[in-house]
C-alpha cells in the first residue's frame, strides 16, 4: 500500500525517548549496520555520551503518515565537530578567515561511529521519492528558520550521498577499509590469496604471539562475560589516553554499563589471555548484523608484540569466516591494514552550507579534495599484498 504524500507530517524529536522503539527499529531493520537501532542511539543519549552536556543536541527528524512512522533520520544540532570523524577543520578555518560563522550545524549520523550506512530510515510502502524530498525540505526549513549555518550527513551509503546532491548537498570522499570474504572456508584460504612474503609474515606473527603464552578466543552474545564490559571501559580510556588531546574518549562509563542489557545481542569480543591469568590482558569489541562485522574499540594492559594484529584483524576474520560474514569493516586509520589484506574503499559525507560564500568555497575546492583522496585510496590498494598469478 502506498500512502499519499499529502498525509505526511514532519517534526523533530528532542530525544529517542519520544520515539516508539518498535516503529523506529522496523525502519532501521533494512540498514546494513546495527548502529541506527533504537537501543544503540538511546544508550548514547541516556549515558550522557551523545547528549547536550557534551554538545550533542538530539533533533531527530521524523515523518508520520496515517499515524505511523514512515521516515526518520537521527540528527543532532552541534556547535563543534568533535566525535564526527569527518575532519572538517579546513572548512571551519576558511569560514573563520572570512569572518563567517561555521556553527551551529545540523548533523545526521550515528555519533562516534565512522562506519558507512547512513540513509533515510524509510517505510518501503511509502513513495520513496516523495518521502525523500519532504525529509530534505524539512532539513532545509529547520536550518533556515533557526540560524543553522550548515547541514552534514556523515558516513552515508553511496547512493544516499548521490541522492543528496539533488537537494543542495555536495559529497565529500573519504578513505576507509573493508575485508571481503571471497567464499573462504578457513583463515588459511584467505591467507592463500596473499603473496608469499606476507603469508610468511602473518604466520610468524601468529606463532610468535602463541609462543609468548597468549591465547585468543572470540565470544559473542550471551557467551560474553559481564566482566568484559567494565574491562572494555577501562581499556577504552587507556587507549585514548595514549593520544593525549587527540584521543577520542567520547563514551562515558554509563555507556559501557548499559551495553549488556541494550546491545549484547549485537556484540562480540576478541579476548587475549596470558597463562595463569583469569582476566583478559586485552580486548577488542566488535559489532555484527546479519553477515556484516564492524571493529569498534580495543585496548591492552600490556604491550605485547603482534597482539593488536591478532585481536583486531586475524581473530575477527577467522571468527567471521566461520559464521558466514561477508564483509568486515575494521575501523579507521593505519596503512598496516592494507598490508594485511584490507582493501581501501571510498566512504562519503554530504555537506550543505547556507551562506553562499561558504557554499561557493566548498564547491570550488571539493573536486580537487576528492581527487586527492581517490589517489590516496589507489596508493593504499597498491600496498595490498595480493598473490599474483
pLDDT, tens digit (0-9, with 9 covering 90-100), for 179-229: 999 999 999 999 999 999 999 999 999 999 999 999 999 999 999 999 999
Confidence of residue 334 (pLDDT cuts 50, 70, 90): confident
Complete domains list, the chain, with CATH:
5-176+345-381 (3.40.630.30), 182-325 (3.40.630.30)
pLDDT cut 70: percent of the chain above it: 98
Per DSSP, the three-state class of 160 is helix
Mean pLDDT, the chain, integer = 95
pLDDT at 6: 53
Q: Examine the pLDDT at 247 and tell me if it is beyond 90.
A: no
- Which carries the bigger pLDDT value, residue 83 or residue 276? 83
Contact present, 259 and 39 (Cβ < 8 Å): no
| Pairwise CA distance, residues 300 & 288, whole Å | 22
| Pairwise CA distance, residues 107 & 215, whole Å | 42
H or E stretch at 370: helix 356-381
pLDDT at 387: 82
How many other CB atoms sit within 10 Å of the CB of residue 367?
11
Q: Is 28 left (phi over 0), alpha (psi -120 to 50) or beta?
A: alpha
The single-letter DSSP state of residue 314 is I
Burial of 135 (0-12, 13-18, 19+ CB in 10 A): buried
Sheet-wide strand order for 343-353 = 57-58, 75-78, 105-108, 150-156, 343-353, 170-180, 327-329, 292-300, 282-289, 267-274, 214-220
| Pairwise CA distance, residues 27 & 129, whole Å | 16
What grid cell was written down for 81? 565537530
pLDDT at 3: 45
- 105-163 confidence digits (pLDDT tens): 999 999 999 999 999 999 999 999 999 999 999 999 999 999 999 999 999 999 999 99
Contact present, 296 and 328 (Cβ < 8 Å): no
Cα radius of gyration (the chain): 22
| Pairwise CA distance, residues 388 & 55, whole Å | 50
- 289-322 confidence digits (pLDDT tens): 999 999 999 999 999 999 999 999 999 999 999 9
| Pairwise CA distance, residues 74 & 353, whole Å | 19
Task: List the end-to-end C-alpha distance of the chain, in Å, as a whole number.
Answer: 53
Residue from 66, 60, 62 nearest 6 by CA: 66
What grid cell was written down for 317? 576474520
DSSP per position, 220-246: EGGGS-TTHHHHHHHHHHHHHHTTGGG
Residue from 67, 38, 5, 103 nearest 355 by CA: 103
| Pairwise CA distance, residues 238 & 242, whole Å | 7
Q: What angle do CA 193, 196, 202 make, to 5 degrees?
A: 80
pLDDT at 389: 61
Confidence of residue 237 (pLDDT cuts 50, 70, 90): very high
H or E stretch at 41: helix 38-46
Q: Examine the pLDDT at 1 and tell me if it is beyond 50.
A: no
Q: Dihedrals φ, ψ of 388, to 5°?
A: -95, 145
Burial of 4 (0-12, 13-18, 19+ CB in 10 A): exposed
Amino acid at each position: 500500500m502506498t500512502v499519499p504524500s499529502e498525509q505526511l507530517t514532519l517534526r523533530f524529536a528532542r530525544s529517542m525517548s519520544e520515539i516508539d522503539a518498535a516503529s523506529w527499529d522496523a525502519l532501521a531493520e533494512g540498514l546494513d549496520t546495527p548502529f541506527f537501532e533504537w537501543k544503540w542511539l538511546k544508550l548514547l543519549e541516556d549515558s550522557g555520551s551523545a547528549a547536550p552536556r557534551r554538545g550533542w543536541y538530539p533533533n531527530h527528524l521524523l515523518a508520520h503518515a496515517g499515524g505511523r512512522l514512515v521516515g526518520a533520520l537521527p540528527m543532532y544540532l552541534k556547535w563543534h565537530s568533535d566525535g564526527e570523524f569527518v575532519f572538517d577543520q579546513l572548512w571551519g578555518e576558511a569560514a573563520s578567515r572570512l569572518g563567517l560563522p561555521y556553527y551551529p550545524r545540523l548533523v545526521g549520523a550515528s555519533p562516534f561511529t565512522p562506519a558507512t550506512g547512513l540513509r533515510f530510515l524509510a517505510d518501503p510502502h511509502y513513495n520513496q521519492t516523495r518521502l525523500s524530498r519532504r525529509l530534505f525540505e524539512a532539513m532545509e526549513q529547520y536550518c533556515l528558520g533557526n540560524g543553522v549555518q550548515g547541514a552534514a550527513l556523515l558516513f552515508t551509503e553511496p547512493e544516499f550521498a548521490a541522492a543528496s546532491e539533488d537537494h543542495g548537498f555536495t559529497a565529500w570522499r573519504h578513505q576507509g577499509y573493508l575485508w571481503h570474504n571471497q567464499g573462504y572456508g578457513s583463515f588459511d584460504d584467505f591467507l592463500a590469496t596473499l603473496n608469499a612474503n606476507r603469508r610468511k609474515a602473518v604466520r610468524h606473527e601468529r606463532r610468535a604471539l602463541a609462543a609468548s603464552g597468549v591465547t585468543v578466543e572470540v565470544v559473542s552474545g550471551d557467551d560474553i562475560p559481564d566482566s568484559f564490559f567494565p574491562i572494555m571501559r577501562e581499556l577504552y580510556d587507556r587507549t585514548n589516553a595514549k593520544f593525549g588531546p587527540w584521543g577520542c574518549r567520547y563514551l562515558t562509563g554509563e555507556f559501557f554499563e548499559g551495553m549488556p542489557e541494550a546491545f549484547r545481542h549485537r556484540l562480540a569480543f576478541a579476548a587475549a589471555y596470558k597463562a595463569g591469568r583469569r582476566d583478559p590482558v586485552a580486548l577488542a569489541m566488535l559489532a555484527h548484523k546479519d553477515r556484516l562485522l564492524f571493529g569498534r574499540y580495543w585496548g591492552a594492559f600490556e604491550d605485547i608484540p603482534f597482539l593488536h594484529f591478532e585481536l583486531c584483524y586475524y581473530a575477527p576474520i577467522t571468527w567471521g569466516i566461520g559464521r558466514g560474514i561477508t564483509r568486515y569493516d575494521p575501523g579507521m586509520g593505519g596503512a598496516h591494514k592494507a598490508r594485511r589484506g584490507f582493501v581501501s574503499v571510498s566512504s562519503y559525507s554530504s555537506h550543505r552550507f547556507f551562506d553562499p560564500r561558504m557554499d561557493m568555497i566548498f564547491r570550488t575546492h571539493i573536486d580537487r579534495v576528492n581527487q586527492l583522496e581517490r589517489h590516496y585510496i589507489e596508493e593504499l590498494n597498491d600496498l595490498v599484498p595480493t598473490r599474483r598469478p
